[in-house]
Amino acid sequence: MPRFLIKRTAAKGTSPGSLIFLGTKKMEQTRMRIIHYSKENLIERDILDIDEMDDFLKEDTVSWLNIDGLHDTSLIENVGEKFDIHSLQLEDILNTDQRPKVEEDEDNIIVYLKFLSRNADRRLNAEQVAFVLGQNYLITFQEKTGDYFEHVRDRIRNFKGRIRSLKADYLLYSLMDTIVDNYIADIGELGEQIENLENKVLQQPDQETLTEIYNQKTEISFIRKNIRPVKEILTRLLISQSGLIRKKNLIFLRDLDDLVTQSLEAVELYHSMVTDYLNIYHSSISNRANEVMKVLTIFAAIFIPLTFLAGVYGTNFEYLPELHFKYSYFVMWGIMITVAVIMLLYFKRKKWL
């Protein structure tokens, strides 16, 4: 549940715009890594002071500054100052419970996304990634060092694809594409779990199956909550007037938009399937209740009358003529068997057997 809480409460009473890290500290040391590239050159190294950036920010090159770890607020503040990021936006970058969104300034576009991963007990977890896109640079803020973007780095290093010849906006696209690919993988996994669930529901549903259905529902809500705003973000980027997104790169964003739409449709579909499973679950519970009751009724309806009959001849009346007939006992058995057979046939005809 705490996954859904808004953490700002912790900082209640502080002036808005004061930088407070609201996440859980996920690594020891904040790390700043820079990849600086143009079509011809590539420099990759860690920096310790944000002012080292000045060496890289040149026309016609791309500088990708990656900051892992958000707890060192003074460092973040320096970054904000250097790149003209409003203190409220820095606050949002530090607030790891920030809803995915995009903000446009005169000089940069800030995108907040969630990277979804599964933790030890296979539950989905969201990690915030913030992107600050400028004319010739891209800054990424991550909660901890992760390797999600490693293969993009590989493409830059190995000059694979068109990444080295295009600008910072294409880099932003490539990274967002990685995140969206990751959503699709998560949705795929979800799909498989739901498929397994279907079999359980149809064959041997129990209280545990119910819990599992609701867990899946929660997972779906969690994914939807994190992906849905991405659609809005892309819509906004597609109509952005800032000039930071080049016209000819819009086709990539549109492609991403398609993927997100498709993901959301899949999520909605899974949602409706899980709802169907719930209904099937309830139906089979009712069906089994019916079955139990039929067994009871059949036993009761057959043996209660017979027991009554036996009871009658168990009475101790002095004048009870049947008791003295020779074949009474066998006649009684005959009657009993006849009654039982009639009852069985009746239940047969009612399709209870």
Angle between helices 250-312 and 168-203 (to 10 degrees): 10
Q: Does 214 bind a copy of itself (CB under 8 A)?
A: yes
Q: Cβ(197)–Cβ(277) under 8 Å?
A: yes
Stretch (H or E) spanning 64: strand 62-68
Nearer to a copy of itself, 44 or 297 (CB): 297
Q: Which is nearer to a copy of itself, 25 or 151 (CB)?
A: 151
- Would you count residue 120 as binding a copy of itself (CB under 8 A)? no
Rounded distance, CA 142 to CA 293, Å? 59
Give min distance, CB of 152 to a copy of itself, in A: 9
Interface region with a copy of itself, contact rule CB under 8 A, candidates 57-65, 113-121, 236-244, 252-260: 252-260
Out of 290, 338, 341, 342, which residue is the one contacting a copy of itself (CB under 8 A)? 290
Cβ neighbour number for residue 340 with a 10 Å cutoff: 15
| 99 in Cβ contact with 229 (< 8 Å) | yes
Interface mask toward a copy of itself for 71-100; x: CB under 8 A: ---------------x-x--xx-----xx-
Q: Closest distance between a copy of itself and the C-beta of residue 203, in Å? A: 11
The minimum distance between CB 121 and a copy of itself, in angstroms, equals 17
The string of DSSP codes covering 250-282 is HHHHHHHHHHHHHHHHHHHHHHHHHHHHHHHHH
The piece of 33-41, 59-67, 137-145, 153-161 that touches a copy of itself (CB under 8 A) is: 153-161
Q: Give least dist CB 58 to a copy of itself, A.
A: 25
User: By three-state DSSP, how is residue 189 classified?
Assistant: helix
Task: Show the CA angle centred on residue 262, arms to residues 153 and 229, nearest 5°.
Answer: 75
- The gap between the terminal CA atoms of the chain, to the nearest Å, is 47
Stretch near a copy of itself under the rule CB under 8 A, chosen from 66-74, 121-129, 133-141, 254-262:
254-262
Dihedral-angle region of residue 123 (phi above 0 means left; psi in -120 to 50 means alpha; beta otherwise)? beta
Give least dist CB 55 to a copy of itself, A: 29
SS3 315: coil
Contact between 117 and a copy of itself per CB under 8 A: no
User: What character string, x for contact with a copy of itself (CB under 8 A) and - otherwise, covers 309-348?
Assistant: -xxxxxxxxxxxxxxxxxxxx--x----------------
Residue for token pair 């606050």? 91
251 binds a copy of itself per the rule CB under 8 A: yes
The number of residues that bind a copy of itself (CB under 8 A) is 117
Distance of CA 29 to the CA centre of its chain: 30
177 binds a copy of itself (CB under 8 A): yes
**Binding of a copy of itself at residue 203 (CB under 8 A)?**
no
User: Looking at 34-42, 48-56, 138-146, 185-193, which segment touches a copy of itself (CB under 8 A)?
Assistant: 185-193
The mark string for 32-61 relative to a copy of itself (x by CB under 8 A, - otherwise) is: ------------------------------
User: Quick one: tokens of 131?
Assistant: 């992107």
Tell me which H or E stretch contains 121.
none
- How many angstroms separate the Cα of 84 from the Cα of each of 50, 64, 274? 13, 17, 46
Decide: is 243 part of the binding site for a copy of itself (CB under 8 A). Answer: no
Among 40, 241, 349, 351, binds a copy of itself (CB under 8 A): 351
